[in-house]
Amino acid sequence: MQTEDTVSSRCNRRFFLQIVAVAGTAAACWQLGLFGSTKSIQMARRSQPIMGTLLNLTVYGPDRDNCEEALQRTIATMKTLEGKLSRHMPDSELSRLNRTSVLLEPDKDLLNVLAMAQDLSRKSSGAFDVTILPLLHLHEKIRGTNDHPDPQLLASARRLVGHEKIVTDNKGIRLKEVGMGISLDGIGKGYIVDQGVAALRDLGFNNVYVEAGGDLMVSGLKEDTVPWRIGIRNPRPQQHQKLVTVAVSNKAVATSGDYLQAFTPDLKHHHIIDPRSGFSPPELASCTVTAPNVALADGLATTLMVLGKKDALDLMEPLNGCEAYMVDKNLNHFHTSGFFS
C-alpha cells in the first residue's frame, strides 16, 4: 500500500505518471451549452499542498469570481477531510485511533473510507489491507540501505496486520491488537478527491478536473461529445515507448507503480507492500485503473500491484465500470477486456 511523503517528492509522482488531460475552454463551452452564444466562459485553476502531495483543480463557469469562490470552498472541504484521515497529522482522527487503538464516535468520513477498504480487503483476499502500517514503518526505517528488515521484527510486524482485526460498531472503532496501525494512503487521498468533485458539483460546477498526486477525476466532455484522453507514460521512462492513452469521461483514473516511491535503486523494494508477505510484490512495475470514483481506482491500483497479472485480471473482469492496464518489470503490457472500449 502507498505511503505519503514530502510535498516535493509526491509532486514528482505526478510528473512520473505523465498524466495528460486536455480540457480546453471549448470543452467547457460545449458541456455548458454555450457554443454560439455571446456569453463568455471563465476558467479558474488552483494548486494546493494536501495529503503530502499537490492538489490541482480546474473549473469552468460563466463568472470568474464564482469559479474562484468555488475553488476556495472546495479546498477548505478537502483540507478538513485531510485533518480526519491523514496518519501524518497528529490530531487527526486516524492518528488518535492509531495511538490509542480506540476511537469513540468517529466521523462518518472515516467510517466510510474504512468500509470501502474492508470491502476491497475481502474481495482481494487480503491483498489490500489498511492495517499495513507496522510493515510500512519497518521498511521506511531502512529506506535507501538496500537492506532487508530484520526477520524477527518482520514477523512481529506481520502479526499486527489483518483487516479482520478492525472492529467497528455503534460504540466506535477498535483495533484488537496493541501496536496495530492503520494507513489510508492507498485509498484516503482518492476519497478526498471524490469529495472535492462532489463539492464542486453541489456548487453547480460540472466541468471540472481534480487531481492529487496523479489520482484524478474528470467531469464533462470535449466539444462534439469527444471524451478527454488520459495519457500514461511507461514506468521506465529511460526506455522509450509510445505513450499509451485512454479515453475517459466522468470517470476516475489512478496509477500505482514501483518507481513512484522506491526504497532501493533497483526498484525491488518500494512503498507498495504485500500485507501477506511483508515485502514489495515482484511482478508488476505499474498499474492504472479506471473506475467510477477515485477512492476505488486508488485502492484497486494498489491491490493489483500486489496481486500480479493473473489474479489482478481475475479480480477486475467481473467489476462493473472498472478497467485496468498493467505493465510488468520486463515492460510487457496487459489490460482488461474493456480498458480501451
Distance CA 7, CA 54 (A): 7
Report the share of the chain in percent with pLDDT over 90: 64
Q: What is the DSSP string of 118-135?
A: HHHHHHTTTSS-GGGHHH
- How many other C-beta atoms can be found within 10 angstroms of the C-beta atom of residue 95? 20
Question: Cβ distance 70 to 200 under 8 Å?
Answer: yes
Work out the average pLDDT over 172-190: 95
Taking only the tens place, the pLDDT of each residue in 196-229 is 999 999 999 988 889 998 899 988 765 446 677 8
**What is the predicted pLDDT for the residue at 39?**
57
What is the rounded average pLDDT of the residues 314-330?
95
Instruction: Give the pLDDT mean for 218-241.
Output: 75
Average pLDDT value for residue range 91-101: 97
Give residue 225's pLDDT.
62
Give the pLDDT confidence score for residue 166 in this predicted structure.
Answer: 98
Q: Tell me, what's the pLDDT at 222? A: 54
The sign of the torsion formed by the CA atoms of 312, 300, 137, 48 equals positive
For CA atoms 257, 260, 266, 270, give the dihedral sign: negative
Q: What is the pTM of this model?
A: 0.86
- 77, amino acid identity: T
Q: Which fold has domain 7-62+186-335?
A: T-fold (3.10.520)
Measured distance CA(204)–CA(78) in Å, rounded: 17
- Categorise residue 267: left if φ over 0, alpha if ψ from -120 to 50, beta otherwise: left
pLDDT above 70 coverage of the chain, percent: 86
CA angle (288 as vertex; 287, 289 as ends), nearest 5:
120
pLDDT of 19 reads: 37
Measured CA to CA, the distance from residue 34 to residue 67 in angstroms comes to 17
Name residue 335's beta-bridge partners. 325
Q: Look up cell 514503518; give the residue.
A: 137
Reported as type and span, the H/E element at residue 55 is strand 53-61
Q: What is the pLDDT of residue 193?
A: 96
- Digit-coded pLDDT (tens) for 3-48: 444 444 444 444 333 334 433 333 333 344 433 344 577 889 999 9
Query: Cα–Cα distances in Å, from 194 out to 129, 174, 206, 298?
Result: 21, 26, 13, 11
What pLDDT score was predicted for residue 33?
41
Of 16-25, 229-238, 255-264, the range with the lowest mean pLDDT is: 16-25
pLDDT at 259: 85
For the chain, the structural domain boundaries read 7-62+186-335
Q: What is the DSSP letter of 305?
A: H
